[in-house]
Structure 1
């Protein structure tokens, strides 16, 4: 039996300064992006183009969903 990845464990970082980005509800962000919860894993992360540290204008840009791949290993089909 496979267990679903807990979306609250999803890592998010700023693509500019590489600082971690804290967000309230990652499930809401992923739902808005159309990413199914059953496709998440520890190889997934969100990259923001700016954060409160390097872009203190108060708004958080839209994230990009990234899935990391290990060299030499094939990705299982989704």
Structure 2
């Protein structure tokens, strides 16, 4: 039995001010369905980015959003120490 990621757990952030955005239960699923995005293709690396929010754009009630998938860090990545001259 495999577990499916719950899209309602996606983190939502304003790209303008960086504040997290909280909205009602079911809103993420509705937005994904309206955009034609398959929720089963999303995972814990995905976030929703809003092009504004009520905190940084008072009076506005509608904002463009997009789903972004963050890259995983490679396990074999070589970490180099910072160097100064």
Same fold (TM > 0.5): yes
Name the TM-score, length of structure 2 as normaliser: 0.77
Structure 1 residue aligned with 2:16: 16
TM-score (norm 1): 0.83
Q: CA deviation at 1:10?
A: 0.8
- 5+ residue gaps, structure 1, are 74-78
Query: How many residues in Structure 1 have an aligned counterpart in Structure 2?
Result: 73
Q: Which runs of 5+ in 2 are unaligned?
A: 76-85
What is the rounded CA distance, in whole Å, between the counterparts of 2:46 and 2:7 in structure 1?
10
**Cα RMSD after superposing both structures:** 1.4
Deviations 1:9-52 (A, max 9, x none): 11100001110111221100111111111111110011001001
Hey, what does 1:76 align to over in structure 2?
Answer: none
The residue aligned with 2:50 is: 48
Q: Which has the larger radius of gyration?
A: 2
Q: For 1:52 and 1:18, how far apart are their aligned partners in 2?
A: 12
| Alpha-carbon offset, residue 71 of structure 1 | 3.4
CA distance in 2, matches of 1:62, 1:15: 10
Q: Which runs of 4+ in 1 moved over 4 A?
A: none
- Take 1:58 and 1:46, find their aligned partners in 2: how far apart are those partners? 18
